[in-house]
Every structure is written in C-alpha cells, then in structure tokens.
C-alpha cells in the first residue's frame, strides 16, 4: 500500500480580512451553498466547505491524496486537480463527461491520486458548467521532506488566488447567453483572495491584506482562478523574482509585472526591502483584441508590520489593458530551470506532428433572436466538440461503442490565411472526436489562433501531462522556417499555455500516461462554445503502463 493520506487543510477564510487557519487530518470537501456579499450585493454561491476561495490543499511530493467530495447542492459537481499528472489514475482527474460522470446531488466520490514527480503550486476547481467561478482553491505541493527549493528559502509563504466576481448567478448568465447566441456578460469585478478591494459606489468593500515584515522574503503562490480573463499582477515599489510556473521550476528572473492566464500559477519571491509602509497590489485584465472585458482592477495591500494605519498607500498604475509588450516580456523570460536535479526532458524526436487551429466561429441558430439568428461557437480544427452523455474514459475502458470516434483531424480540413481577415464562414462540424496516441509516443502540437470573428489569446490547457513550450510567434506558423527557431534546450514546462492573439504556440510532450485527456481553452466561455477536444492514450505493455481499474464509487451518469 502506498503511504497513507497526508493531507493538511489550511483554510484561508478571507471573507473578513483576517486569516483563520484550520488544520485537519482527513480531507473532506463538502460542496455547500453559502450566502455571501460582494460589491454591496448578496447572493448564494456554491462553495467547498462554505469558503470562497475554497480551502488550500497542502500535500507533499509523493503523497497519496484522498479527498471525499460530498455534494450537498442542487447542481451536479466534479472537482479537477488542475495540473496534477494523474499517472494511470484518470478516474480522479475530474472533468465531467470526460473522465467521470458528475457527482449528483446527495452523492459523494473519493478522489484518490498520488502526486508523482511534481512539487509547486497548482489549483483545484469544479469542472462542470461554470461552477468553478466560486468552487476553486489552491493546491500547494511541498518538496519531499529534506529536499530544499532550488532558490533561497523564503521566510514565509502566502497564497494569492485571483478570481472574477459576478453580482448575479453565473449558471444563469451562461444559460442565458447560450439561449441568446450572444457572448455572456463580463464579470463585475476581479478579486484577490475573494475580495475586490476598493470599488466605486461601495465603500464597505474590504481588501485583502498581505502582512510582511521588513527585510524578510516571501514566496507568493499566485493562481489565476478567474473564468474568462487573463490578468496582470504587480505590487507597487517591488520587483518580483519568478521561480516557478505551473508547478515546474524556472530560471529565476526579476520583473515588475507578471501575466497569468486562467488555470496558470506563478510563484514569485518578494523581499520586503522598501521603506516601511503600505503598497498597492493590483490585478487587472490583459486583453489585446477587440473583445469586451471587465476592466476593474482588483486591489490588495502589502502591509509592512508596524506601519501606522494613517500612512498613505503607495499606489501603482496597472498596465494598459492591451499591453502586449509587458505580457511578452514576462512570457519570453520563462525558461526551464534545466539543472542537474531538474533537467528539461523535451522530446527531440517527434512521432506525431499535429497542427490545430483554435478559434471562434458563427453558426446559424434560428431561435437566437438576440444574435440575429446566429450564435458564436468555438472549435479546434473546425470541430466543435460535443460533450457525450456518458464519460469518455468509461466508454473507453468498458469498450462502450458509439460514444466517441478516434478520427480527430491532425490538421485543419482547409488551408487558409488563419490570422488574416480570412473566410469568416468556414463551416464548423460538431462531433465527439478524439485523437488516439500509442503509449509513449512523442507529440509536437502547433496551436494556431484564427482570426475568425476576432483573433484572441487562448490559454490552452492539457490534462494528464505537462508539455514544453518550444516556440511561439505571430501570424501563421511556417513549418519550414519556424521549427529552426525552436528552443529544445531549456523551454518552459507548463500545463496551460497562451496561444497569442493572431499567432501560434508550439508544444511537445510524451504520451506516457494512458487514459482519456481533455484539452481545452481555459477561458470557460470558449470551453462552453466548443474549444475543446481529447486525446486517447493507449495502455503500454509494461506492468505499470496501463490505466488502473475504476474505483467502486465512481459516479454513474
């Protein structure tokens, strides 16, 4: 038997600007409704254990984690452990109708997985409909006992969960949008650990407080748990030293502003080396396409202990919403650590070379009056993914026919000027089509944004794997010249990567994890519209190369 559960739960309860910690030995996630007030208005939200953001899951590399999720609300629920590799344990991955049927009201399911070869910051979130807007929290994986960080030991660690807040119910918002054919409303505020900070017309709104002591160094574990928006993050008067993204170490570098997409995490070191005082912390939207976003900046305060409450806060200006240069500066600085202990194992030889277009489309919708009889959809290689009514992993494991096909196209059906104005009316087909890979195959995947409707940055997330980001560029990918510029030495390793608006990103990974693995845009609105697909990875021949049998309590559809 593997080591028994070692899960500590730390509940950062941030409804009041006070941190309440509770440590327990068993990990129970009770999904419950909770009345809560933000922006001077109240609503009932779905939460884990009544907390928003939810409890931080603390574990150590090598731990086997068991989380019992008990559904006490009126919605189907699943929890996804975003970025956890789930080696051979796809049953515990969480996306509804991909690896499991959802947990129905009144039912429970125990997620059981071992954290192998990973340490750092990740996040957990609901993976059904739009429930992750309030059902999310941090995962902190400490290195094995006695193993140091590959950077100076911080004096303390703080978790910062960035989010989005809607005054009305998010399930109602997306349902309404699907009916009308139009884009859903943007959020009403961004949040830092659940709080928006100062907001016009609502003076009672609290702001999150980050207490620091002069001269000390802090590891900030920053998570973007927002539904639909990439965010800039900065702290007035302080530089941030980036040491990790998506639970993989990077070559440390100093920067003023980081950019972080939904599903991504960034660990930075911050030294309280400025004059004692209060400094503004700002999270603001990044959007470089003509697409509406919530333009409110969430604020928190970095507070040196001993600072008089009357002393003013040192302010900072958030970057302009379309500051692509600032975003690129951060993204281009990311390199894998590539040390002896943490080498970069990027596949050099490629078995499957794939080219996927990602973007939007328009299809007829006679009932969509508000959108003049059409609706927005999204697709990968012109396939708008249709969710099945039974889970793909079960269909695969139990050999249930008729649920999916394995003919997902390796390249787009038509070649066109992807990033130009282009033909706007390319037909999208729908289907539950998977791309099949033999165990241990190496894959190169070029993700190409399209300009159909509008170019837009898509943070694409792959379940079950980390990948290496070997290249990135603007315009259409050139298969002759661009690969010559790939970084096969120290590319950054991630689980979610931004495909730049009107550009492309190339990633590589090894299909060493049997199962069915979802890949989708982590902007929830695009996932809803169909910007998703899945890989089916066969079992290998070795004794430890096949999917383990499903647990007895696996939910039924």
Q: Which of 38, 60, 75, 80 binds ligand C2O (CB under 6 A)?
A: 80
Based on the shown chain and the rule CB under 6 A, indicate whether residue 520 belongs to the binding site for ligand C2O. Answer: yes
| Near ligand C2O by CB under 6 A: residue from 433, 461, 472, 510 | 461
Contact yes or no for 493/483 (Cβ under 8 A): no
What's the closest the beta carbon of residue 459 comes to ligand C2O, in angstroms? Answer: 10
Minimum CB distance to ligand C2O smaller for 278 or for 532? 532
Give the position of tokens 């590891």: 219
Interface with ligand C2O, residue 458, by CB under 6 A: no
Return d(Cα 466, Cα 248) in angstroms, integer: 9
Q: Quick check: 312 and 258 in contact, CB under 8 A? A: no
Site string for ligand C2O, 85-124 (x = CB under 6 A): ----------x-----------------------------
H or E element: which one contains 107? none
Closer residue to ligand C2O, CB minimum distance, 85 or 125: 125
Rounded Cα gap, residues 287 and 309, in angstroms:
35
* 463 lies in the site for ligand C2O, by CB under 6 A: yes
Cis peptide leading into residue 431 (ω within 30°): no
Interatomic CA distance for residues 209 and 278, integer angstroms: 10
Which span (26-34, 320-328, 405-413, 515-523) binds ligand C2O, by CB under 6 A? 515-523
Question: Distance between CA atoms of 529 and 385, rounded to whole angstroms?
Answer: 9
- Distance between CA atoms of 286 and 295, rounded to whole angstroms? 9
Cα-to-chain-centroid distance, residue 358: 17
190 touching ligand C2O, by CB under 6 A: no
CB of 231 to ligand C2O, least distance (A): 15
User: Is residue 82 a contact point for ligand C2O (CB under 6 A)?
Assistant: yes
User: Strand 240-245 to strand 265-271: parallel, antiparallel, or no bridges (unpaired)?
Assistant: antiparallel
Any bridge partners for residue 447, and if so which? 356, 505
3-state DSSP helix/strand/coil % of the chain, to nearest 5:
10, 40, 50
Per-residue contact track with ligand C2O, 494 to 513, x per CB under 6 A?
A: --------------------
Task: Return left, alpha or beta for 146; rule: phi > 0 is left, psi -120 to 50 is alpha, else beta.
Answer: left
Binding residues for ligand C2O, total number by CB under 6 A = 11
Tokens of 81: 């452990």
CB of 229 to ligand C2O, least distance (A): 15
Q: Are 106 and 126 in contact (CB under 8 A)?
A: no
Provide, rounded to whole angstroms, the least separation between the CB of residue 74 and ligand C2O.
Answer: 23
Q: Which stretch binds ligand C2O (CB under 6 A): 192-200, 306-314, 426-434, 517-525?
A: 517-525
CB atoms within 10 A of CB 167: 15
Near ligand C2O by CB under 6 A: residue from 127, 190, 494, 508: 127
Reduced to 3 states (helix: H, G, I; strand: E, B; else coil), residue 66 is strand
Cβ proximity to ligand C2O: between 55 and 459 the closer is 459
Nearer to ligand C2O, 472 or 526 (CB): 526
Stretch that binds ligand C2O, among 146-154, 405-413, 514-522, 534-542 (CB under 6 A): 514-522
Which of 518, 524, 528, 529 binds ligand C2O (CB under 6 A)? It is 518
**Site residues (CB under 6 A) for ligand C2O, limited to 245-264:** 263
Residues found near ligand C2O in the complex (CB under 6 A): 80, 82, 95, 125, 127, 263, 461, 463, 518, 520, 522
């Amino acid at each position: 038997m593997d080591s028994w559960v070692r899960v500590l739960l730390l509940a950062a309860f941030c409804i009041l600007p006070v941190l309440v910690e509770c440590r327990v030995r068993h990990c129970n996630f009770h999904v419950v409704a909770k009345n809560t007030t933000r922006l001077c208005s109240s609503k009932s939200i779905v939460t884990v254990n009544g907390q928003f953001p939810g409890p931080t899951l603390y574990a150590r590399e090598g731990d086997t984690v068991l989380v019992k999720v008990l559904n006490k609300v009126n919605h189907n629920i699943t929890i996804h452990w975003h970025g956890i590799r789930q080696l051979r344990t796809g049953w515990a991955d969480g996306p509804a109708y991909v690896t499991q049927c959802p947990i129905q009201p009144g039912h429970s399911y125990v997620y059981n997985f071992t954290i192998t070869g990973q340490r750092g910051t990740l996040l957990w979130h609901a993976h059904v409909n739009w429930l992750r807007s309030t059902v999310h929290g941090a995962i902190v994986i400490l290195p094995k006992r006695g193993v140091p960080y590959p950077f100076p030991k911080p004096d303390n660690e703080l978790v910062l969960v960035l989010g989005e807040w809607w005054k009305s119910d998010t399930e109602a918002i997306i349902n309404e949008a699907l009916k009308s054919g139009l884009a859903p409303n943007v959020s009403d505020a961004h949040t830092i650990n659940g709080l928006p900070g100062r907001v016009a017309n609502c003076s009672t709104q609290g702001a999150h407080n980050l207490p620091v002591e002069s001269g000390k160094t802090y590891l900030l574990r920053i998570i973007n748990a927002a539904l639909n928006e990439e965010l800039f993050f900065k702290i007035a008067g302080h530089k941030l030293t980036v040491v990790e993204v998506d639970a993989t170490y990077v070559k440390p570098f100093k920067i003023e502003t980081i950019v972080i997409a939904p599903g991504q995490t960034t660990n930075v070191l911050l030294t309280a080396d400025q004059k004692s005082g209060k400094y503004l912390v700002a999270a603001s939207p990044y959007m470089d396409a003509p697409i509406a976003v919530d333009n409110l900046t969430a604020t928190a305060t970095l507070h040196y202990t001993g600072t008089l409450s009357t002393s003013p806060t040192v302010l900072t200006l958030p970057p302009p919403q379309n500051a692509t240069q600032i975003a690129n500066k951060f993204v281009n600085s990311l390199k894998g650590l590539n040390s002896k202990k943490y080498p970069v194992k990027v596949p050099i030889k490629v078995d499957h070379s794939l080219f996927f277009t990602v973007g939007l489309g328009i299809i007829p919708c006679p009932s969509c009056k508000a959108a003049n009889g059409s609706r927005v959809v999204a697709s990968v290689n012109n396939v708008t993914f249709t969710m099945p009514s039974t889970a793909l992993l079960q269909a695969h494991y139990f050999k249930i026919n008729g649920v999916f096909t394995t003919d997902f196209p390796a390249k787009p059906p038509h070649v066109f000027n992807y990033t130009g104005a282009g033909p706007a009316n390319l037909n999208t087909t729908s289907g539950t089509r998977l791309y099949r890979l033999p165990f241990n195959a190496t894959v190169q995947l070029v993700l190409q944004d399209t300009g159909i409707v509008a170019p837009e940055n898509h943070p694409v997330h792959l379940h079950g794997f980390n990948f290496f980001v070997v290249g990135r560029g603007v315009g259409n990918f050139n298969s002759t010249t661009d690969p010559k510029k790939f970084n096969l030495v120290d590319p950054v390793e991630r689980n979610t990567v931004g495909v730049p608006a009107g550009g492309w990103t190339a990633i590589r990974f090894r299909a060493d994890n049997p199962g069915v693995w979802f890949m989708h845009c982590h902007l929830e609105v695009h996932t809803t519209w169909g910007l998703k697909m899945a890989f089916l990875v066969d079992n290998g021949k070795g004794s430890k190369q096949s999917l383990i049998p499903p647990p007895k309590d696996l939910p039924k559809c």
